[in-house]
Amino acid sequence: MGRFDGKVCVVTGGARGIGAAIAYRLGVEGCKVAILDIDREAGEYRVNEFRSKGIDAIYIYADVSNEEHVKNAMDLVYQKFKAINVLVNNAGIGSSGKSLEEQTFDEWRRVIDVNLTGAWLCAKYAVKYMKIGKGVIVNIASTRAFQSEPNTEPYSASKGGLIALTHSLAISLAKYGIRVIAISPGWVDTSEWQVPPRKSQLTPLDHSWHPAGRVGKPEDIAALVAFLASDEASWITGVNIVIDGGVSVKMVYLDENIIEEGLSALFQDREVGKMFREVIEKLKSYRSVEDVRNKLRELLDKL
């Protein structure tokens, strides 16, 4: 396909998941690929896989929250390939899911250091080489920057900060012809891009929740990155693009229709959903919570 022939890309967290899919997509389109990752085994595995498919790739051990690691890694990439044209800040970690009162300062700091400070450091030390010619930085954020589940404060804050960092960098680096874009993925199943690959454990209900009809794949994100990093997107900079199968614009009411559809999808049987609807209609005739409980116990005993 050749959109990136002669160009060099750096993908942080590129050994597994979305990062690996991005590195592969850029590689098959002609990029020389440098994967930065803290997982040595996965990094070597991925680079060997890429090389077996004709991609010129190297692996560099680097913790993106460590300034010395990042500086040395960017220097090594330039020494090897004589350029850095595309930087994909993908490396990231999740948070524990503990309640706010139970979250530790060390957890908060580690998530912010990797997900946000890491992107800043990589941009800081890649720009030295990117500004020699026009370049592109793509930051992988998340829809969690805009919507949250409970107890995700460190992760959500890091991704929100990454979007703010994106538009700030876009303005600061415009004088060098460097574009900066953020992408916010929703739910993406990375099973097949793990080391070793795993089978997906998703259910029909997981897929049906999405207006697009399915959970995302790493290849979906990689395709968008490849477009945004190419000259075809030369008028796009400073923005965040949501890619989530339509979930973030879906208005949801918890009512009988939603539950009926969910059960039908989960069991792949419309009759199950209809049976639930019939039970709900019968329960509405009862006047007390205790009456409802007794009826439900009776129905469960029959099952």
User: What percent of the chain is modeled with pLDDT above 70?
Assistant: 97
DSSP string, 124-192: HHHHHHHTTS-EEEEEE--GGGT---TT-HHHHHHHHHHHHHHHHHHHHTGGGTEEEEEEEE--B--GG
d(CA 138, CA 68) in angstroms, rounded, equals: 22
Q: What is the DSSP code (8-state) at residue 299?
A: H
> pLDDT (tens digit, 9 = 90+) per residue, 55-86?
999 999 999 999 999 999 999 999 999 999 99
Q: What is the pLDDT of residue 1?
A: 58
Angle at 52 between CA 46 and CA 54, to 5 degrees: 105
**Residue listed under structure tokens 């190297």:** 58
pLDDT at 259 over 90: no
Mean pLDDT for the stretch of residues 176-183: 98
| Contact yes or no for 81/8 (Cβ under 8 A) | yes
Q: What is the pLDDT of residue 268?
A: 79
Q: What is the pLDDT of residue 86?
A: 98
pLDDT at 288 over 70: yes
| Contact yes or no for 187/216 (Cβ under 8 A) | yes
What's the CATH fold of domain 8-248? Rossmann fold (3.40.50)
* End-to-end C-alpha distance for the chain, whole angstroms: 57
d(CA 220, CA 140) in angstroms, rounded, equals: 13
Give 124's pLDDT tier (boundaries 50, 70, 90): very high
Alpha-carbon distances of 217 from 186, 206, 214, 244, 268, rounded to whole Å: 10, 13, 9, 10, 22
Give the residue extent of every domain in the chain.
Answer: 8-248, 256-302
Give 91's pLDDT tier (boundaries 50, 70, 90): very high
Q: What is the pLDDT of residue 104?
A: 97
Mean pLDDT for the stretch of residues 166-193: 98
Q: What is the pLDDT of residue 271?
A: 81
Residue 164 burial (C-beta neighbours within 10 Å; 0-12, 13-18, 19+): middle
Look at 16-25, 254-263, 266-275 and tell me which has the smallest mean pLDDT: 254-263
User: What percent of the chain is modeled with pLDDT above 90?
Assistant: 78
> pLDDT (tens digit, 9 = 90+) per residue, 161-177?
999 999 999 999 999 99
> pLDDT (tens digit, 9 = 90+) per residue, 8-58?
999 999 999 999 999 999 999 999 999 999 999 999 999 999 999 999 999
Mean pLDDT for the stretch of residues 183-191: 98
DSSP string, 62-126: --TT-HHHHHHHHHHHHHHHS---EEEE----------TTT--HHHHHHHHIIIIIHHHHHHHHH
Q: What is the pLDDT of residue 303?
A: 58
Give 302's pLDDT tier (boundaries 50, 70, 90): low
Mean pLDDT for the stretch of residues 168-191: 98
d(CA 115, CA 194) in angstroms, rounded, equals: 20
pLDDT at 211 over 90: yes
Give 267's pLDDT tier (boundaries 50, 70, 90): confident
CB atoms within 10 A of CB 291: 12
pLDDT at 193 over 80: yes
Residue 286 annotated among the catalytic residues of the structure: no
Distance of CA 58 to the CA centre of its chain: 23
Q: What is the pLDDT of residue 280?
A: 72
Give 136's pLDDT tier (boundaries 50, 70, 90): very high
Mean pLDDT for the stretch of residues 259-266: 75
d(CA 254, CA 242) in angstroms, rounded, equals: 25
> Could you tell me the pTM of the whole model?
0.88
| Contact yes or no for 122/166 (Cβ under 8 A) | no
From the candidates 78, 155, 176, 253, which is the catalytic residue?
Answer: 155
Q: What is the pLDDT of residue 294?
A: 81
